[in-house]
Copies of this chain bind each other. A is one copy, B any other.
Amino acid sequence: MSAYDIPRLKARLGGMKIEENPAIVKQKSRDFFWYSPVLKRQLDHVTGDIVVSPRNEAEVIEVLKACFDEGVPVTPRGSGTGNYGQAMPLSGGVVLNLADLNKVKAIGRGQVVAEAGAVLAAIDKETRPGGEEIRLHPSTYNTASIGGFVAGGSGGIGSINWGGLRNVGNVLSLRVVTMEANPRILEMTGRDLMKVMHAYGTNGIITEVGIPLTAAYDWIDVMIGADDYMSAVRFADLVANEDGLLFKEIATVAAPVPYDYFLRHQKFLKREHSIVLLMVAPHAMAPLLDLAAHEKVEILFRSDTATDAKKKGLPPLFELTWNHTTLRGLRVDPSITYLQVLHPFPNHVDSIAKMTALFGDEVPGHLEFIRFDGKVCASGLPIVRYTSDDRLDEIVKIYEDNGCPIFNPHRYTLEEGGMKRTDAGQLAFKREADPKGLLNPGKMIAWENPDFDLNSDKVYLFPGMQAAE
Q: Are B169 and A242 in contact (CB under 8 A)?
A: yes
What are the interface flags for A94-107 relative to B under an 8 Å C-beta threshold, 1 for contact and 0 otherwise?
00000000000000
User: What's the number of copies of this chain in the assembled complex?
Assistant: 2
Kindly state whether residue A422 has any CB partner on chain B within 8 Å.
no
Q: Are B287 and A168 in contact (CB under 8 A)?
A: yes
Contacts of A111 in B (CB 8 A): 283
Q: Are B215 and A214 in contact (CB under 8 A)?
A: yes
**In chain B, what residue has the closest Cβ to A346?**
B346
**In chain B, what residue has the closest Cβ to A243?**
B163
Query: How far, in angstroms, from A290 to B111 measured CA to CA in the complex?
Result: 18
Q: Are B374 and A246 in contact (CB under 8 A)?
A: no
Kindly state whether residue A352 has any CB partner on chain B within 8 Å.
no
What are the interface flags for A220-241 relative to B under an 8 Å C-beta threshold, 1 for contact and 0 otherwise?
0000000000000000000011
Query: How far, in angstroms, from A189 to B215 measured CA to CA in the complex?
Result: 24
Q: Are A243 and B372 in contact (CB under 8 A)?
A: yes
Kindly state whether residue A315 has any CB partner on chain B within 8 Å.
no
Q: Are A286 and B172 in contact (CB under 8 A)?
A: yes
Q: Are B168 and A291 in contact (CB under 8 A)?
A: yes
Contacts of A162 in B (CB 8 A): 243-244
Q: Are B244 and A281 in contact (CB under 8 A)?
A: no
Which listed residue, B217, B288, B372, B376, touches A110 by the CB 8 Å rule? B217
What are the interface flags for A271-308 relative to B under an 8 Å C-beta threshold, 1 for contact and 0 otherwise?
00000000001111011111100100000000000000
- Tally chain A residues at the interface, Cβ within 8 Å: 50
Q: Are A241 and B110 in contact (CB under 8 A)?
A: no
Q: Are A215 and B131 in contact (CB under 8 A)?
A: yes
Query: How far, in angstroms, from A373 to B242 measured CA to CA in the complex?
Result: 6
Kindly state whether residue A415 has any CB partner on chain B within 8 Å.
no
Contacts of A267 in B (CB 8 A): none
**In chain B, what residue has the closest Cβ to A294?**
B191
A-B contact pairs, 27 of them (CB 8 A): A108-B283, A109-B217, A109-B283, A110-B217, A110-B281, A111-B283, A130-B131, A131-B215, A163-B243, A164-B243, A167-B244, A168-B287, A168-B290, A169-B242, A169-B244, A169-B245, A169-B246, A169-B284, A169-B287, A169-B288, A190-B287, A191-B290, A214-B215, A241-B374, A242-B374, A243-B372, A346-B346
Interface residues of A (CB under 8 A from B): 108-111, 130-132, 161-164, 167-170, 172, 189-191, 212-215, 217-218, 240-246, 281-284, 286-291, 294, 346, 371-376
Q: A108-B283, A109-B283, A242-B374 are in contact. List 6 more A-B contacts (CB 8 A).
A: A109-B282, A167-B242, A167-B244, A168-B244, A169-B244, A243-B371
